[in-house]
């Protein structure tokens, strides 16, 4: 992972605009910071999705049936998977996938204590790339495969990347499986800014942790306190954009290379794309998935989509 991170840093700092892929936000520290963000009152997507899941999972359980093998890319703290797994009749296995190995394994131990009869098989991998599942999740089994992808994480992928990812998940689950995706729709700018640039500074710390991690793991010499966290809404691309902006000109050294960062220059850290239900269905259709059921939050704050191969 260190070699991959260093290569991504070198490539991202060499381009214009400079960019660090957002998947590197999620080391153990970053994952813990994100859980703090999700618990903030201003971060409406987490609360809206939790409420919507409570409404949706009984119907999902009835359609999926017994013996399901649930695969969750980007599992994090596994809070939402508890809602699904608790509703499914006799699930056969749960496969959380995450890049933050220590954080994921701690969460898996907590889930195992709550569900001792469930086979929990963590996989350390970047879900945006091809990953290998344990044999119990891919072999001939009586129950269907279910990809569970909550948290509006689909929005962290650019639309072409999101389409490719969904196509891979469609191929993974096959004709008898299911893909369930949480999607955050377009909201007014004020609400988005309050959610994605919290007054407590937790999101800013989450973003700056990219630079702290680069220093720790790759020997870079970023000065994280010399960067401001800036959030913008891009209506043309329907996305929230996170940047780290230099307060003053300075030089950063990484792997023997030097990068001159000017005052006011930005490093792009994350994009969060928003989709109306109709826009997401078009994205899913391009990946070969058709809607089975769509659930909408009563205030329009979130949508859940249960999909099958078309």
Element (H, E) at 119: strand 119-120
Tokens standing for residue 94? 């749960």
Name the DSSP letter for residue 21.
-
User: Mean per-residue pLDDT for 260-270?
Assistant: 96
pLDDT at position 61 is 96
pLDDT of residue 287 exceeding 90, the answer is yes
CATH code, residues 1-310:
3.40.50.150
pLDDT of residue 136 exceeding 80, the answer is no
**Residue % of the chain over a pLDDT of 90:** 87
Hey, how many other C-beta atoms are within 10 angstroms of the C-beta on 225? 9
Task: Using DSSP bridges, classify how beta strands 257-261 and 250-254 pair: parallel, antiparallel or unpaired.
Answer: antiparallel
Of 97, 100, 98, 122, the C-alpha closest to 109 is 122
Hey, how many other C-beta atoms are within 10 angstroms of the C-beta on 10? 15
The answer to whether the predicted template modeling score (pTM) of the entire model surpasses 0.75 is: yes
Measured between alpha carbons, how far is 242 from 267 in angstroms, rounded to an integer? 9
pLDDT in tens, 190-218: 999 999 999 999 999 999 999 999 999 99
In the 3-class helix/strand/coil scheme, how is 186-241 assigned residue by residue?
Answer: CCCHHHHHHHHCCCCCHHHHHHHHHHHHHHHHHCCCCCHHHEEEEEEEECCCCEEE
pLDDT at position 180 is 98
Place 259 in a pLDDT band, splitting at 50, 70 and 90: very high
- Domain layout of the chain by residue ranges: 1-310
pLDDT at position 276 is 95
User: Mean per-residue pLDDT for 265-287?
Assistant: 97
pLDDT at position 2 is 65
Measured between alpha carbons, how far is 19 from 84 in angstroms, rounded to an integer? 35
pLDDT of residue 177 exceeding 90, the answer is yes
pLDDT at position 13 is 96
Tokens standing for residue 273? 């794309």
Residue 47 DSSP SS3: helix
pLDDT at position 235 is 95
The chain-wide mean pLDDT, for the chain, equals: 93
pLDDT at position 302 is 95
């Amino acid at each position: 992972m260190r070699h991959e991170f260093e290569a991504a840093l070198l490539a991202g700092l060499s381009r214009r605009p400079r960019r660090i892929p957002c998947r590197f936000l999620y080391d153990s520290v970053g994952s813990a910071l994100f859980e703090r963000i999700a618990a903030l009152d201003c971060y409406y997507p987490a609360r809206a999705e939790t409420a919507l899941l409570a409404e949706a999972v009984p119907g999902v359980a009835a359609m999926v049936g017994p013996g399901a093998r649930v695969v969750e890319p980007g599992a994090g703290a596994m809070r939402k998977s508890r809602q699904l797994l608790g509703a499914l009749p006799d699930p056969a296995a749960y496969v959380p996938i995450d890049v933050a190995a220590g954080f994921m394994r701690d969460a898996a131990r907590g889930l195992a204590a709550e569900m001792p009869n469930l086979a929990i098989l963590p996989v350390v991998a970047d879900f945006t790339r091809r990953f290998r599942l344990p044999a119990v999740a891919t072999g001939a089994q009586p129950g269907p495969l279910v990809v569970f992808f909550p948290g509006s994480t689909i929005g962290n992928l650019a639309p072409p990347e999101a389409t490719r990812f969904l196509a891979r998940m469609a191929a993974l689950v096959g004709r008898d499986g299911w893909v369930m995706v949480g999607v955050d729709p377009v909201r007014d700018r004020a609400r988005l800014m309050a959610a994605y640039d919290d007054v407590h500074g937790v999101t800013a710390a989450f973003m700056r942790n990219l630079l702290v991690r680069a220093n720790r793991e790759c020997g870079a010499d970023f000065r994280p306190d010399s960067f401001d966290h800036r959030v913008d809404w891009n209506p043309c691309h329907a996305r929230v954009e996170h940047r780290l902006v230099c307060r003053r000109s300075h030089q950063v050294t990484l792997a023997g290379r030097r990068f001159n960062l000017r005052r006011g220059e930005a490093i792009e850290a994350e994009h969060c794309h928003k989709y109306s239900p109709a826009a997401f269905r078009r994205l899913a259709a391009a990946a070969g998935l058709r809607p089975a059921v769509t659930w909408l939050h009563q205030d329009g704050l979130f949508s859940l989509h249960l999909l099958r191969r078309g």
